[in-house]
């Protein structure tokens, strides 16, 4: 059985290979049935000054072996833009 830390690392590594963008942070990790759901924020465009950087949130689904089975960009935003908190 894989740990959450292993799934996070696998999701960042595979998403980097698929998109070509470097990961910034992970904002969600959840196990749903036999799959893992991870949200990774990726740096899509580096700008000067850094608060103008463009980031994007990607929702990634991995199978029980840690392989990406799907991903989708759900949000694109500037680093300096406040993020809305969703109600849980």
For the chain, the straight-line distance linking the first and the last C-alpha, in angstroms and rounded, comes to 27
What are the φ and ψ backbone dihedral angles of 5, each rounded to 5 degrees? -65, -40
Average pLDDT over every residue of 13-17: 97
pLDDT single digits (tens) 25-84: 999 999 999 999 999 999 999 988 888 899 999 999 999 999 999 999 999 999 877 666
Task: Map out the domains of the chain as residue ranges.
Answer: 4-78
Checking if the pLDDT of 86 tops 60, the result is: no
pLDDT for the residue numbered 88: 47
What's the CATH architecture for 4-78? Roll (3.10)
pLDDT for the residue numbered 62: 97
Task: Report the alpha-carbon distance of residue 18 to residue 32 in Å, rounded.
Answer: 23
Residue 23: strand, helix, or coil: strand
More confident residue, 24 or 82: 24
Alpha helices in 1-88 (DSSP H): 4-19
pLDDT for the residue numbered 51: 85
Largest CA distance in the chain: 43
């Amino acid at each position: 059985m894989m740990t959450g830390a292993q799934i996070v690392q696998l999701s960042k590594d595979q998403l980097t290979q698929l998109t070509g963008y470097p990961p910034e942070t992970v904002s969600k990790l959840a196990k749903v049935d036999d799959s893992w759901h991870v949200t990774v924020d990726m740096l899509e465009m580096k700008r000067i000054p850094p608060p103008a950087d463009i980031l994007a949130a990607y929702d990634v689904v991995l199978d029980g072996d840690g392989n990406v089975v799907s991903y989708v960009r759900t949000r694109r935003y500037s680093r300096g833009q406040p993020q809305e908190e969703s109600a849980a």
